[in-house]
A and B are shown apart, each in its own frame.
Chain A
Amino acid sequence: MARKATATKSKAQSNIPELTKEEELYAFREMLLIRRFEEKAGQMYGMGLIGGFCHLYIGQEAVVTGITMSTKLGEDAQITGYRDHGHMLVMGLDPKGVMAELTGRKGGLSKGKGGSMHMFSNEHRFYGGNGIVGAQASLGTGLAFASKYRGEDTVSITYFGDGAANQGQVYESFNMAKLWKLPVVYVIENNRYAMGTSLERAASTTDLSQRGVSFGIPGEQVDGMDIRMVKDAAERAIEHARSGKGPYILEMLTYRYRGHSMSDPAKYRSKDEVTTMRSERDPIEQVRKRILEKNYASEDDLKEIEKDVRAIVTEAADFATNDPEPDTSELYTDILID
């Protein structure tokens, strides 16, 4: 029988792996940066500074932070769908460039020509920022193919959501990845709603970690709100892929606090559900509590971190507000390389 996936359950709750003091503080700062950045983006959207679609990552911060802590930064490739701001911030892309892309300005990561869903960095090995649900599953498998073709020691982290998990090309990719033992970790960010459709209404089996079974791909369900669990599972999965054993699936049970995009009133779920997740399972509050309990830092120290993060976000927002729009001559550039 299909088990109802919830973000409060996990397979390996007994032996909770701990983070070091440095790791806890790093995680706190990175997750807070995403949270404050996204809040600011939401605010700027409301002011009309950001147009079109804008999908916020608030609530899901532990997933990308924990995974990225387990990768080799600048070597391992990462690729995701349209809910991509958090991935870029944690990978070290310039918050000013990200925010200026959201506002469609010259200094945006894609010169203002991509928007919220289309940002990339060859240098950081971040391949987007992809707007077609599920397309990144094949693209990310291709990044892994390139690693193997060149005999490189790198892994492709390929994120997609519970909605994309029902797209055909995901399974086409699973098949080739296992057939050719490609170094790819598929991270399914299961935030329980594909736009407005709950997993239960969209999936014949709801344990998405088992979606690779018929291809022989191992998978785990992970508490994606607890960064300790995320990082622990990611290390296992990445080691599996890097050592030549082929793909691995991590289903991250997570939750987005906001609507699917800015224009989604999220009436398909109860207020209680959201409130409970926010008050009891918040990924940042979990870390904050542990830091204080273990005396890794004082309230004042954390306030300092908050202050730093706010300054970064304010600087990004100011830049994105004041940076000029791209020159009109950019209309016809970057279509073909001469």
Chain B
Amino acid sequence: MPTDILMPALSPTMEEGKLSKWVVKQGDKVAPGDVLAEIETDKATMEVEAVDEGVIGKIFVAEGTEGVKVNTPIAALIGEDEDASAVPEPEITTDEPKESEKPGPDEEVAKNSHPTTKAVDAPAAPQFKPQNDPDIPDDVEMVTITVREALRDAMAEEMRTDKDVFVIGEEVAEYQGAYKVTQGLLQEFGSERVIDTPITEHGFAGLAVGAAFAGLKPIVEFMTWNFGMQAIDQIINSAAKQLYMSGGQVKAPMVFRGPNGAAARVGAQHSQDFSAWYSHVPGLTVIAPYTAADAKGLLKAAIRSPNPVVFLENEVLYGSTGEVPKMDDFVLPIGKARIARQGKDVTIVSFSMGMRYATQATEKLVAAGVDVELIDLRTLRPLDIDTVIESVKKTGRCVTVEEGWPQGGIGSEISARLMEHAFDYLDAPVTRVTGKDVPMPYAANLEKLALPNVDEVIAAVNAVTYRS
């Protein structure tokens, strides 16, 4: 039985090539690995090797032929005792389409028309349905603590119940945390579970991902997320994509956490908001809390999550206080926005430090007679867009507030989703209040200008409510 030797594909994108030279001739005996021919593509000249042993029975494509399509038979291999003259000629495919295959005028038009938004066979993206916050019984005592303490308590509680949970990062143990978030953990859990690392973000993030693959539940503290950028490859390429790439086999149950965004007067490299960056990535959960209660309830949820979670804190908020219910197990749902104030005139959407500007602006606007609905996203991925859409259906207006840069920001995403899902309800353009499109300046006056502020939020609300 003759076996066809096919024009091979020699690169991921090769569709055709030139058969530049035959190294063997008809009648030659060949063994696996012998070079048969040379092929030229737009990238390189490469050799075609024999994969089976036999005799070159017939050469179908002469050397020098251009545009030989991949998988076209170029020669036939026969057994030593077979007759070459019995080899049938195959149909050769070259560049020029056959008359019957040429597109008709209608098909040409169809090719050039606008693409439809949805491929016919693509399944619909699943819709995430978040759970509601748990009911807090009336008799539960509320205690006032700082965000810093709330985060520490969340870690300590989870470490008490699950031995696989450990904290790793720079200065988390002996120093008690660069921002004192891990205060007391070393004393309670020991140096096996509260681990000081060298200054080696890329390395310890990767090490923690590997430990998570093996079933542990690391909490990786970045002294700031600015330094976490050194490790972004491990966070995205190793942690976020692992479950998908392994067909659901290998998990990365872990939390990456630390202060995110601008602090005060620390300059461009230490003042960056990564909210939009990480919220872009499927496979990650991204949480950015504002209140002490949300910090505690969501960090506990993050540690328990079987998925990799990016937990974005804010240095400026560490010392701010809030009421946290004194319960054994206060856990909040991931992916659920919190309506901080109900109103009917305008929706303000924010998260993390942006909520401070938004809250102060809301107080002033309400005093001026504007009934603001204020939404704290809390989780950025999955994004609770349903809560925002429902609000905008009521108010018809939306202002977003964030410290990050404007292009491709969280506000841009909300704006786009409202266009897609609430276009007919909008009475004014969705308006973004963001950090300015500049690296963070050091000078106090310039830094102030670069950050969003309360007046900008008020101005945006006045604009969308046509009050200005």
Contact = CB atoms under 8 A, between A and B. Distances in A.
A141 to B, nearest CB: 5
Interface string B299-312: 00000001100000
B247 A108 contact: yes
B257 interface: no
B10 interface: yes
A39 B32 CA distance: 9
A120 B249 contact: yes
B244 A113 contact: yes
Given A172-B203, A176-B198, A262 B243 contact: no
Interface of B: 6, 8-12, 14, 32, 43-48, 51, 70-71, 121-123, 125-126, 166, 192, 197-198, 200, 202-216, 233-234, 237-238, 243-251, 282-283, 285, 306-307
B186 to A, nearest CB: 16
Contact of B45 (A140, A173, A265): A265
Contact of B198 (A52, A109, A175): A175
> Per DSSP, are chain B's interface residues mostly helix, strand or loop, or mixed?
loop
A168 B211 CA distance: 20
A113 B243 CA distance: 10
Contact of A138 (B47, B210, B212, B248): B210
A45 B48 CA distance: 12
Interface in A32-76: 39, 42-43, 45-48, 51-53
A334 B6 contact: no
A311 to B, nearest CB: 16
B94 to A, nearest CB: 17
A139 B200 contact: no
Nearest to B121: A328
A149 B9 contact: no
Contact of B244 (A127, A135, A334): A334
List 7 tightest A-B contacts by C-beta distance, closest first: A142-B210, A138-B206, A172-B203, A46-B8, A263-B11, A111-B247, A146-B214
Interface residues of A, number: 65
Most chain B CB inside 10 Å of its own CB: which residue of A143, A149, A333: A149
A16 interface: no
Contact of B248 (A111, A112, A129, A137): A111
Contacts of A331: 122-123
Interface string A178-203: 01000000000000000000000000
A174 to B, nearest CB: 9
A95 B436 CA distance: 55
Interface in A286-329: 328-329
Most chain A CB inside 10 Å of its own CB: which residue of B32, B209, B211: B211
A262 B14 CA distance: 11
B207 A138 contact: yes
A1 interface: no
Contacts of A48: 9, 70-71
A3 interface: no
A77 B210 CA distance: 11
20 contacts: A79-B210, A128-B245, A132-B233, A138-B207, A139-B213, A139-B234, A142-B206, A142-B209, A145-B210, A146-B210, A146-B211, A169-B203, A176-B197, A179-B198, A262-B11, A263-B10, A263-B11, A265-B44, A334-B244, A336-B285
Nearest to A278: B33
B46 to A, nearest CB: 4
Most chain A CB inside 10 Å of its own CB: which residue of B207, B216, B248, B283: B207
Given A143-B211, A262-B11, A336 B247 contact: no
A35 to B, nearest CB: 10
Interface string A9-48: 0000000000000000000000000000001001101111
B202 A172 contact: yes
A99 B446 CA distance: 59
Contacts of B32: 39
A145 B207 contact: yes
Contacts of B203: 138, 141, 169, 172-173, 175-176
Contacts of A335: 243-244, 282-283
B213 A121 contact: no
A172 B200 contact: yes
A142 B252 CA distance: 12
Given A141-B210, A143-B213, A176-B204, A114 B243 contact: no
B163 to A, nearest CB: 9
Contact of A142 (B12, B122, B211): B211
Contacts of A146: 210-211, 214-216
A329 B123 contact: yes
A110 interface: yes
A145 B206 CA distance: 11
